[in-house]
Amino acid sequence: MAYGTVNADVIQTSTSGGILGAGDASLMKNRIINGAMVISQRYGTTSTILSATGYSLDRWNAFVGDGGSGIRYSFQQVSTAPTGFSNSILITTTTSGTSNASDRYFIQQSVEGFNFADCGWGTADAKTVTISFWVRSSLTGTFGGALGNENQDRGYPFTYTISSANTWEYKSITVAGDTTGTWTGATNGTGVKLYLNIATGSTRTGAAGSWSANYYTNATGSVNLGQTASATINWTAIQLEVGSSATGFEYVNYQTSLANCQRYYYRVNATSAYTAYGHGWNTSTSVGLVIIKHPVRMRVQPTSVDYSTLSSTVLGVSESTVSSIAISNDPSGYNGTDSTGITTSGSGMTTGFMTLTAKNSTSSYLGFSAEL
């Protein structure tokens, strides 16, 4: 049999607006997870205000560093998006004020070292990267953000301009790789941090366009959304890729995007009033143990667990309310990145084999966090 040459199809790099295809079609071109804002396990589409730092849409840390100004903002997954996309994150100023020097309000994603080590930052071979995204705001002017390292002693502030209010605009920023400083290599630590500013004071704000030995999350002269009541900004299609120019956004199928997020956090929501989360045993009338198998291998052993409206059910008939749960410290070896043991506490439990279930509620859930 004769063997000939097979011509592989080539996905053309998109041009205007950057919304077509997957650019050079490389694997993991985009180092950002959930850049299209399609996964929101914790809050769904609910508008939420955080009084302290926490996660918003998956992988996006909503930072609240209040230096006394009292500024607050809400976040929400919305269906407002540019052509080719389904969702964006909407930030709205709910309490406005004048930023103090130590104020820090931003959304941020920490990219795992395993997913960034090839960029070689901290060496003479540091690669240039380009950040691109679609943005829409009720305000116009110069906006800011930054890249930084895990030690928070290297920072590269950048700016971009929004020209028209309430209009989607495509932006890209090219950043020469940092040849100095300490950067995490191929580990499960933080390889690089991307900050998108909301309202940051002068302490964490620096001149745009160069690296410095500072913890900067914003660029000097950028718009402060916190000073304007009901100001809004949306972001979507956020991409961080190697190279000196932006290419088309790397679309990821929904299941892959969800699994990527579940490495850091996953939540099982009740699909019925008595959804079963896992099985274990009640060792007494007040304490039980359940081993939960994770849907994907997590970054590290989960560091926290969140939940709502749970029951311990024995033989399907003896139901007791679970008042609290915690990650077990039992040394039996079932705690790790693939499974986690959780201790359930309550009163009036029946000893023996049990099932951890929703307690007659479809709003019940069980979640695990291994965030960076």
pTM strictly above 0.95: no
Contact present, 129 and 177 (Cβ < 8 Å): yes
Torsion angle in degrees (nearest 10) through CA of 250, 300, 38, 295: 100
- pLDDT by residue (tens digit) across 156-207? 999 999 999 999 999 999 999 999 999 999 999 999 999 999 999 999 999 9
Q: Is the pLDDT assigned to residue 44 strictly greater than 80?
A: yes
Lowest-pLDDT range of 137-141, 223-227, 314-318: 314-318
Q: How would you classify the pairing of strands 218-219 and 205-206?
A: parallel
Q: Is the pLDDT assigned to residue 22 strictly greater than 90?
A: no
Q: How is domain 16-262 classified at the CATH fold level?
A: Jelly Rolls (2.60.120)
Q: Is the pLDDT assigned to residue 87 strictly greater than 70?
A: yes
Q: Is the pLDDT assigned to residue 142 strictly greater than 50?
A: yes
CA atoms within 13 A on the CB side of 26: 10
pLDDT at residue 331, rounded to an integer: 65
In the chain, where the domains are located = 16-262, 265-369
Q: Is the pLDDT assigned to residue 114 strictly greater than 90?
A: yes
Q: Which two tokens stand for residue 224?
A: 């402060």
